[in-house]
Amino acid sequence: MVTKHKLKGICVEPIKEYFAKLSHTYQNYQHVKPINKAIAEKSGPISMYRVNTEHQDSLPDWSVGIASLDSKHHQKSNIDKHYMVEETVEAITFSTLLQEEEITDVDLVVIDTEGYDLKIIEMIRSSHIKPKIVFFEHQHFIGSENKDQLTASLAEFQKNGYLIYLGSCNTIAYLP
């Protein structure tokens, strides 16, 4: 969608190796700005846990996508801890990102942060923007102790005028 429709925006990726691939993907699209940071509750260095790509051939292709702030997140995917590495990344708050990038309006937000999605949604809600579409992964909340947080978040979207599409792993909240 981004390249076909020449959408303007930013892409945030904290892992250096993945950021390099993201930057390469959008190198010919001047309207897309990759940012090598994580979105977190406070700015500064934080630890992320990701699959060591040296072991990538021994693991399913999707395993590279389980990078998380949660040191135990890999257990949800049955990835053994010896395949994981810790990487220190630079974090930025959502409000600081909006300020630094001079963002005043957002049409689409896509979040896939391996269980941190609802925290980012709360950061968006407490900001000055109201995205027209919010696409996020909810699979880490269904059937877990955090399902009440998902239910509350969906109710808050509806209270603010959003319609909800709940797929098998992802949610789309959109303003009609």
Predicted confidence (pLDDT) per residue in 94-152, tens digit: 999 999 999 988 888 988 888 888 899 999 999 989 999 999 988 877 666 678 888 89
pLDDT band at 56 (very low <50, low <70, confident <90, very high): confident
Listed in sequence order, the residues at least 6 apart from 155 whose beta carbon sits closer than 8 Å to its beta carbon are none
Mean pLDDT of the 152-160 span = 94
Mean pLDDT computed over every residue of the chain = 89
pTM: 0.84
What pLDDT is attached to residue 78?
86
pLDDT band at 154 (very low <50, low <70, confident <90, very high): very high
Domain 104-176 in CATH 3.30.300? The answer is: no
Q: Please give the share of the chain, as a percent, with pLDDT higher than 90.
A: 52
pLDDT in tens, 27-41: 998 888 999 999 999
The domain locations on the chain are 1-92, 104-176
Distance in angstroms (rounded) separating the CA atoms of residues 161 and 150: 17
DSSP 44-84: EEEEEEEE-GGGGGGS-GGGGGG-BSSTTGGGGGT--GGGE
Mean pLDDT of the 77-100 span = 92
Distance in angstroms (rounded) separating the CA atoms of residues 76 and 147: 15
Mean pLDDT of the 152-176 span = 94
Alpha helices in 14-163 (DSSP H): 16-25, 94-100, 117-125, 147-159
